[in-house]
Structure 1
């Protein structure tokens, strides 16, 4: 929350700052004499020593859209941090160029440093907060030494907790417990210090030490300054940091900053109504799908039943979570014809159609790229007599999209025709065989009004244009499309990740930079639930906690037979709901909304990189100016209102105890103006 006393004490603080042995800017006298309310620019100063903790905080600022200036502490050409670097005067008003300061420790410049003195004077004068990204427990940061009721050492598995002060303050969005990762008994993952608070220190995160508790993170108020003290090491991917990252930024910026963050999770179920080919554990390949020596006549498929469809609807209701059904209507019709003309599964899903979101996956799931020559292994793009690549035509692609949409309309299924997922993301470039998009794809998308086409995040993590459409990268989940049972999952996993000596393919041995071999093969009876599920849930949850809106995708086969998907989703959702308070729900949004989010982020990042954003706070008024057509993400406290042409209105949407939105100027306005609560 905005600290009014901090903002209004600037004039008095200048008198204190003048006593510090540092050059004070000329504007100091102006502030002291006129008590002018200073302008605070909405940008963060990051002093980087190359450590993982600073890197983690920088990543949080970058990934949530908070502008920052990074100073490389080890560079001989870096600017000197002095009064002139930190502040100046704009239109006769004193200006603080940074709303917060992130340092590697409480003083990375050395004892008696003029730069640290300049920062201390600046923070005191303007009420600016400082984060000490990683330091040790000692009186200089408001803590007793670790030999006085504290601890120093490995923290793997430590069950820390948000204190009442933390819940009432910057970490009120958390459920309470913050457990440090312990993913391997062989590798130390976390190290830190726990200390007992001294006067002026308020603990926000503590953990058991002996018969008491000691602090791992807290606020130290002293000499007119506030520091957030972190006494454990971390990197940007570790769960304990991901849980705390939002609160660290909110504390640093006093709850007012550019950028916003959400915890997103959406799951696309591909191939709905169509069957998926089955893995053959004897041949270690998938007959009828890709090249599979000896697989002729051994093809088998996996397809949901009516009971599986009923279970999907029941599971959704129990979990309060909606799946995206990515469907092939024509493939379902073909299956129906080949199996006696009845299809209870399709009838059940159609009856429950309002319970799901639906996305067009083309009518019969063909490959929409080049004509595939499957006589080669791997397949290659077929050439005509002139040596030119043969492509699926625009008319054929357009018909696949149109026919599937029309099938859904006839069934009463509501869907957004601007969204599309092609089979295997085909039509888009597929390396190494097809290094470019099918040149007929963009036109076919335009013919059908498609604006958002799914892509594979493992191959193309960045959004890009395809004619008038934009890609929406999706995370593949490591729950295989060609398996219907837990045992099949474990068997295929063993083939991929076991060494040749252990009966695996040896792929892990041949690619040590990208793959790690299993120490021993998984037990087919227990390996999926005991090893693969926790690992995949952990990976998915890491995406959820990283402000990553990209959806995850699986296949209808994972909802059939042993229903292998649900244990993963249960673990992700159940774990999430123990970690977070009710005011921070998972955001389960559509493909279109995700595409729009990524599009807005790209435009915002470009505007920041080009220096075309101006944003500042004067007292309780926030002003944001961005290029025409670029919406700005702004986070502010509850009670914030947005200035209209006449009067004000409640600003943004509530999330994690704050309010935030992508916002632009109202009609006849040139900037966004927000009124903060007093």
Structure 2
């Protein structure tokens, strides 16, 4: 349960003195104040405050950022923090995030104003990364604590953390150790200072001892509450991603705009069809456009009925549903070549209700420009006047409609609004095709397609294509042309090693490529030893980042060596080991992912434009959003909107979207969600302490260490 500190109200005189409010506002102080649902984030440019800002951005939670390094920044004083609206005192921020427990110079009026504001309105403060010292409720690390790296250490959520803001975690908080050559973490481990009212929420063992030291804890003092974080992190590191939700929920009391969930969806492309195989001698894929002059002999990869049985058993064991993205002509070709027999299709159709299904066009044709494949790389064919030759609207429409008809005849449970074109074709492909096929949008409209898959590696933002919206998908480095682990490693080596090592030279041409190899991987061990843990970590990073975009692989990866499963199981099993049962993976189909992305885009646009206001008065939350913009919020379980339960349960709270009516929305909080109370200190408050000492930030935090699993 959430901890709420109840204190009595300030006297009128003390409140006026603390906030420097005009005397005419004094009558409002007997009523509950208005607390605006906005966070004040004070940044020193470090990775910790940037990480918290990224978490708020991803959730759609509004904040005001003050950059301490900007000379033109506003001063943080009583007028900046609070005022009076319609006779009611208003706190402009529901929480304060500082880079440490006191980033200001000694005797700072700004820190004094913040302390007074926090006492007056019971506003919590997060110390994003601070030194362990008595001013933060902790002993100095030299007093039996520790200062140094936590690379590879497994921290734990304490009993108080599980009962409080981190109850969505199963207990363990592993710290990354992606490279033995780079320091990726730094922390101060320490016990609470003598006499301090301090509760550790996350702790870790002090090396060489049986003691434990706090990494995240709550310090209550002087009528204020601070969440004291004593390790540094960036927005991508798993330890932060695991704790980010709890940091936000602690500082907002579980009442804030925006929402965050952990999503994972996997699309399996080319089902019923066969995928061409990588040739380890030619370093290309016979039958595809990367083999110059049609070199080599194709050796296609196609699933079998046994692979379908394995897929259904895997789904059942992981409580997960795959999206099968299909090409109907693949089955037709198989039957024509095998006297009408296609055992794979028969098995898939018999088990059709165990999966979700998405139209992938009938023949997997390229639907952009007409390709000239007489050279590598291919180029767009041109007309006599030099203009691009485009695949026609009729041809695109036939590919969509014929596959739909085939799927319906097979009894597949389809949603006609969803489409994945072959290779995401029709959409722009750089450098060969810098524009969408102009005939794509009309063909989509002809077939009532409103959700169109895109490749997130080249088309990251959702965008409109005629009446349809794109749904960017994350590609996995589990290659479409590999059914066996050795083939996957061979192609991986060719792609990500230098020319002198027999590789493609991609990494020499583009040093920013994060999957580059210092030396080729062993084809017998490289897949399980390097590629699987790397791809698992990348995909799990997406899951933990409130990213609903689906990942995509190919049917070839479920055949032969079934090389996709170690990665997929790694993501889901790894997730289950980290999270409590109340925080399951959210597994959405494509149109629902598209809807989520579209709502977020509209919400975030309105936030940036300053068109959304929200505040809390007592147990009532009021949200005003523009007409047509659905509102999103996270609230305690039991919250109601117009007399009905709001949202759905997740991570111990409820969250969701409210109607886009344009009228003010009034939500009622349950009695258990006590309103923040203003604290009474008729006596003089304790003095604000001096600035926090400098803290260490290792190279692996700024910038982020690469995903190197080769220790």
TM bucket (normalised to shorter chain) is over 0.9
Is residue 58 from structure 1 mapped to residue 63 from structure 2 by the alignment? no
Over residues 170-189 of structure 1, what are the superposed CA-to-partner deviations in whole Å (9 max), with x where a residue is unaligned?
Answer: 00000100011011111110
Q: Equivalent residue of 1:490, what SS?
A: helix
Q: Equivalent residue of 1:146, what SS?
A: coil
In structure 2, the CA distance between the partners of 1:119 and 1:242, relative to structure 1 (3 Å rule), is: same
1:245-264 superposed matches below 5 A:
245-264=244-263
Q: Is the 8 A contact 2:625 2:663 kept in 1?
A: no
Cα distance in 1 for partners of 2:221, 2:430 equals 58
Over residues 492-536 of structure 1, what are the superposed CA-to-partner deviations in whole Å (9 max), with x where a residue is unaligned?
Answer: 111111223333233222322225542221111111011100000
Matched residue, 1:151: 146
Matched residue, 2:112: 117
Q: Is the 8 A contact 1:303 1:557 kept in 2?
A: yes
Matched residue, 2:701: none
Q: Is the 8 A contact 1:477 1:554 kept in 2?
A: yes
Is residue 677 from structure 1 mapped to residue 676 from structure 2 by the alignment? no
Matched residue, 1:333: 332
In structure 2, the CA distance between the partners of 1:602 and 1:665, relative to structure 1 (3 Å rule), is: closer
Matched residue, 2:37: 42
Q: Is the 8 A contact 2:271 2:554 kept in 1?
A: yes
Deviation at 1:481, TM superposition (A): 0.3
Deviation at 1:562, TM superposition (A): 0.1
Is residue 344 from structure 1 mapped to residue 343 from structure 2 by the alignment? yes
Deviation at 1:14, TM superposition (A): 6.6
Deviation at 1:15, TM superposition (A): 6.2
Q: Equivalent residue of 2:10, what SS?
A: helix
1:581-600 superposed matches below 5 A:
581-600=580-599
1:123-142 superposed matches below 5 A:
123-142=118-137
Matched residue, 2:680: none
Matched residue, 1:204: 201
Q: Equivalent residue of 1:205, what SS?
A: strand
Cα distance in 2 for partners of 1:337, 1:34 equals 82
Unpaired runs of 5+ in structure 2? 673-711
Q: TM-score, normalised by structure 2?
A: 0.91
Deviation at 1:2, TM superposition (A): 7.0
Cα distance in 1 for partners of 2:659, 2:11 equals 35
Is residue 655 from structure 1 mapped to residue 650 from structure 2 by the alignment? yes
Is residue 12 from structure 1 mapped to residue 10 from structure 2 by the alignment? yes
Q: Is the 8 A contact 1:53 1:233 kept in 2?
A: yes
In structure 2, the CA distance between the partners of 1:59 and 1:669, relative to structure 1 (3 Å rule), is: closer
In structure 2, the CA distance between the partners of 1:589 and 1:202, relative to structure 1 (3 Å rule), is: same
Cα distance in 2 for partners of 1:529, 1:14 equals 67
In structure 2, the CA distance between the partners of 1:526 and 1:112, relative to structure 1 (3 Å rule), is: same
Over residues 566-588 of structure 1, what are the superposed CA-to-partner deviations in whole Å (9 max), with x where a residue is unaligned?
Answer: 00011100000000000000000
Unpaired runs of 5+ in structure 1? none
Matched residue, 1:276: 275
Deviation at 1:192, TM superposition (A): 1.0
Q: Is the 8 A contact 1:621 1:676 kept in 2?
A: no
Cα distance in 2 for partners of 1:16, 1:158 equals 47
Matched residue, 2:236: 237
Cα distance in 1 for partners of 2:16, 2:138 equals 28
Pick aligned residue for 1:25 from 11, 21, 27: 21
Q: TM-score, normalised by structure 1?
A: 0.96
In structure 2, the CA distance between the partners of 1:408 and 1:578, relative to structure 1 (3 Å rule), is: same
Q: Which deviates more, 37-46 or 374-383?
A: 374-383
Cα distance in 1 for partners of 2:506, 2:140 equals 50
RMSD value, Cα: 1.7
Over residues 212-239 of structure 1, what are the superposed CA-to-partner deviations in whole Å (9 max), with x where a residue is unaligned?
Answer: 1110110000000000000000000000
Deviation at 1:4, TM superposition (A): 6.3
In structure 2, the CA distance between the partners of 1:77 and 1:15, relative to structure 1 (3 Å rule), is: same
Deviation at 1:399, TM superposition (A): 1.1
Q: Is the 8 A contact 2:623 2:664 kept in 1?
A: no
Matched residue, 1:577: 576
